[in-house]
Amino acid sequence: MRRIKLPFLKRKSRNTDQINNIVKSDNLPKHVAIIMDGNGRWANQRGLPRFAGHKEGMDNVKKIVKVANKHHVKVLTLYAFSTENWKRPKPEIDYLMKLPIEFLNTYLPELIEENVRVQTIGEFDVLPAHTKKAVQSAKDRTKDNNGLILNIALNYGSRFEIVQGIKEMVHDFDQKGESIDNLTEEMFSEYLYTKKLGDPDLLIRTSGEIRLSNFLLWQSAYTEFWFTDSFWPDFNEYLFEKALIDYQNRKRRYGGI
């Protein structure tokens, strides 16, 4: 029999979903990565300039950090600026580079209270001085916290990371006079920004785009992916918990049976 989709039926099932939105305490992802996409389109839909979407997106970060912490996520990696985002118009780049400063000015006390540790991945040295200063200070001030690691991917590009890692590794092997034939996957992973963070268990992308956009290519070999049409500023605790529940219902096989 053909199923006819009626709007009121759709709404009913969504409400049921909401009632059942209960995250179990076992089998939670330790490392969640998010491609926070759709700020521009969120603003565009409202007739606002793109930067208004970025501002709204920034405020959303705190909400998601809180819910991730609530569910004992150990590492939350957020894609904030890619190595390809330098292609954007200068005023937008300038605004995006000010956002971490504003975010930390506004929320650092709360993050400290929640025992969050701020870290970054990406090429840090080439960031504007004011961005570096604010982020470095947040890293220093939270370095002894042992709660959730808020890992911001800032000027991050997976291919750059891999090539950089290869260069350093070849140099080290040369220095030690070690044969490259002895190289293992585990050894190479030590040359990536994520060496101490491990691979993401769950990767979320907002805004309806179904691609990685140069994010954690090596690390996501066996990551569970979760996509939503919601733009990042509309992504909320409910959707985050929905992603966790879906993750809990998946069977990770890693090639086994």
What are the catalytic residues?
Answer: 37, 85
Instruction: Tell me which residues in 130-149 interact with ligand IPE (CB under 6 A).
Output: none
Query: Is 122 annotated as a binding-site member?
Result: no
The Cα 246–Cα 228 span in angstroms is 12
State in angstroms the smallest separation of the CB of 167 from ligand IPE. 24
Stretch near ligand IPE under the rule CB under 6 A, chosen from 2-10, 37-45, 126-134, 166-174 = 37-45
b/e code 123-144 from CB counts within 10 Å (16+ = b): bbeebeeebbebbeebbebbee
Residue 82, contacted partner among ligand IPE, Mg ion, none, CB below 5-8 A by kind: ligand IPE
By CB under 6 A, tell whether 81 contacts ligand IPE: yes
Q: Establish if 193 lies at the interface with ligand IPE (CB under 6 A).
A: no
Among 165, 148, 83, 153, smallest CA distance to 112 is for: 148
> Counting contacts by CB under 6 A, is residue 209 touching ligand IPE?
yes
Does the footprint of ligand IPE cover residue 35 (CB under 6 A)? yes
**CA-to-CA distance for 100 and 229, rounded, in angstroms?**
25
Q: Residue 147: which of 235, 63, 40, 74 has the closest Cα?
A: 74
Cα distances (angstroms) measured from residue 176 to each of 119, 171, 183, 197: 30, 9, 13, 26
Nearer to Mg ion, 38 or 200 (CB): 38
Left if phi > 0, otherwise alpha if psi is -120 to 50, otherwise beta: which for 45?
alpha
37 belongs to an annotated ligand binding site: yes
Window 39-58: contact mask with ligand IPE (x via CB under 6 A)? xxx-----------------
47 is in an annotated binding site: no
Indicate whether 96 belongs to the interface with ligand IPE (CB under 6 A). Answer: yes
Give strand ranges (E) for the chain: 31-35, 75-82, 117-121, 149-156, 202-205, 224-227
Q: Where are the alpha helices (DSSP H) in 114-233?
A: 129-142, 158-176, 185-189
Backbone angles phi, psi at 249, to 5 degrees: -95, 0
Out of 21, 85, 236, 248, the residue judged to bind ligand IPE by CB under 6 A: 85
Residue carrying the six token digits 């909320």: 236
Q: Which of 207, 220, 223, 228 binds ligand IPE (CB under 6 A)?
A: 207
Question: Is 41 annotated as a binding-site member?
Answer: yes
Residue owning tokens 């890992």: 151
Nearer to Mg ion, 37 or 161 (CB): 37
Binding site for Mg ion (CB under 5 A): 37
Q: Is 169 exposed, middle or buried (0-12, 13-18, 19+ CB in 10 A)?
A: middle
Instruction: List, as residue ranges, the binding site.
Output: 37-42, 50, 54, 82-84, 86, 88, 205, 211-213, 224
Instruction: List, as residue ranges, the binding site for Mg(2+).
Output: 37, 224
- Where on the chain is the footprint of ligand IPE (CB under 6 A)? 35-41, 79-82, 85, 96, 207, 209, 211, 213
Instruction: List, as residue ranges, the binding site for substrate.
Output: 38-42, 50, 54, 82-84, 86, 88, 205, 211-213
